Each structure stands twice: as C-alpha cells, then as structure tokens.
Amino acid sequence: MAPRPFRLSPLTLFAVPLAVAACAGVPSGEADKAKMEAMLNAELMTGNSAEMIEAFFKRHGIAFTYNPAIRRYAATVDMGDKIALAVYIYTDMDKKMTVSLVQVPKPAPQPAPMPVRERTRDYLDIPGAGPPRNPR
C-alpha cells in the first residue's frame, strides 16, 4: 500500500499561526484587546438596539455609562492582567449601534533622568544664606 500524502486541514492552518503568535511574545494588552474585539464582533452587530447593547454589558458584568451628547456607551474592562481596556460603542440618532472601539492604554512615559550638575570648586555653601532679596 502506498503511503498517504501529508495534507493540512483548515484547522491546522489556523492553529499553527496562532500558536506561533502566542509564543512570539505578543503583549498581553494586545491579546486582551483581541479577545474583547472578538466578543463584541460575535455578540453585537451594526444596527443593534440600545437594549441589546446594554444586555451585552450586563451579561458580562461590565459597568457602563451612556453619554447622549456624543451618543456613546463607555466602559472600562479589567481583563485580569493589570491592564484595563476602554470599550466604546457609538450609536446613531435612533440609539442603534454604528461602531465599536476597544483601546489599550499606552504605558506612561518614563521621566528623563535629571542631569547632575557638578559644583565648581569655588562654590561656597554658607548655612542660612539664601539668594539676595529685592529691596522695596
């Protein structure tokens, strides 16, 4: 009997790049963002009513607010990795979903180290002496 040629299944074609990406050191914030976007895309669609949007948040135990001035639902989601995601769902005039947005906060910039000035040899430190006062 002749050996069967090796064939890749569609599942293998999907799983291998996913495993490689997981091993490549993808930042956890980006992985959490992808999970949240997948949840939103699986459960909500453009044109969903306000009741469906609010049910999504309640079903997942996510506290949310709605700002009618900009027609936006806003929520902060803690994905358990010390990074809170910002989730925004925008609506149209009829309060039907138009766009969803998930953002990962950028890390705070590290302050630049202050340069240390060396004191010159002619520096004299007199205790109690301060800068000269301006006469009035």
Strand partners, 100: 89
Structural domain count of the chain: 1
Least confident of 2-11, 54-63, 65-74: 2-11
Report the distance separating Cα 69 and Cα 58, nearest Å. 22
- Tell me, yes or no, whether 45 lies in a domain: yes
Classify residue 68 as left (phi > 0), alpha (psi -120 to 50) or beta: alpha
Least confident of 8-17, 29-38, 42-51, 85-94: 8-17
For residue 95, name the pLDDT band (cuts at 50, 70, 90). Answer: very high
- Tell me, yes or no, whether 129 lies in a domain: no
- Tell me, yes or no, whether 53 lies in a domain: yes
Residue 124 is predicted with a pLDDT of 62
- Tell me, yes or no, whether 113 lies in a domain: no
- Tell me, yes or no, whether 70 lies in a domain: yes
Domain ranges, residue 71: 26-103
Give the highest mean pLDDT range of 10-24, 28-42, 93-107, 113-127. 93-107
Q: Which residues contact 90 (CB under 8 A, 6 or more apart)?
A: 70, 71, 72, 73, 97, 98, 99, 100, 101
Q: Looking at residues 76-88, what average pLDDT do you find?
A: 82
First and final C-alpha spacing in the chain: 109
